[in-house]
Amino acid sequence: MWHITQKIIDKVGSALCKDTDFLTRFNTIVWDSDLEPFEFEEKWQKLISDFQLEDNDWLSTMFTDRKHWILAYHRDLPMGYILRTTQRSKSANSFSSDYVTVTPLLYHCYIIQMLLCPCHIITRFQTAMDQQRYTQSPDYYDNDHSLPNLDTNIHLEKHGAIVYTHAVFKMFQEEVKAAISCGVADFDKEENLRIIFVEEAE
């Protein structure tokens, strides 16, 4: 599955993948372990028809070999869901990162499935976790191997670029830029307190 999904863009063309919902539909079909085989075949044929890919030899070969890689054909195996190996988290999830959504309803469904088939739910949960980790892995790499761009020469901003992740630093940077546009407007004293009034410069 992982190797096949790696090739899909090259085999059908980057324009089709970029300008249409082909990838989303493709991944929804091939990763859905709840489909019956006949449902998969119907959805596959409709996908091929909708995007006029009847003459694509590679897709035709993949459909011919569908029983070797499509999850729908392994539903009856006791450990069929294990076919979603951790390789899936290495790249295939880049095509389907929007496919799994955790909702309260989904959570309750997971609890019910856990009671009925613990092995099934544990495997599906692990797959979802692998997907989430892969989706976030580019951010981890950027945080470990680069520093974000600075907008000022203020030491505080430089320090923030080192200690914060890129995502958090962007929020911090906005606060820094807002702060440097402010200045001291007035002073006051109340007993042992010194009060400083700060306002944004015009």
Q: What are 148-165's pLDDT values in tens digits?
A: 888 888 888 888 888 888
Note the pLDDT of residue 63. 94
Inform me whether the pLDDT recorded for 26 exceeds 70: yes
**Distance in angstroms (rounded) separating the CA atoms of residues 202 and 199:** 9
Note the pLDDT of residue 59. 93
Tokens of 75: 């539903």
How far CA 14 is from CA of 9, 10, 25, 149, in Å, comes to: 5, 7, 15, 31
Domain range list for the chain? 2-142, 155-200
**Distance in angstroms (rounded) separating the CA atoms of residues 148 and 166:** 6
- For the full predicted model, state whether its pTM sits above 0.85: no
**Distance in angstroms (rounded) separating the CA atoms of residues 81 and 72:** 10
Tens of pLDDT, residue by residue over 177-189, are 888 888 888 888 8
More confident residue, 53 or 2: 53
Q: CA torsion angle for 47, 49, 51, 57 (degrees, to 10)?
A: 90
**Residue 188: beta bridge partners?**
195
**Other beta carbons within 10 Å of 58:** 14
> Burial letters for 103-119: b for 16+ Cβ neighbours within 10 Å, e otherwise?
eeeeeeebeeeeeeeee
More confident residue, 2 or 35: 35
More confident residue, 125 or 95: 125
Mean pLDDT for all residues in the chain: 76
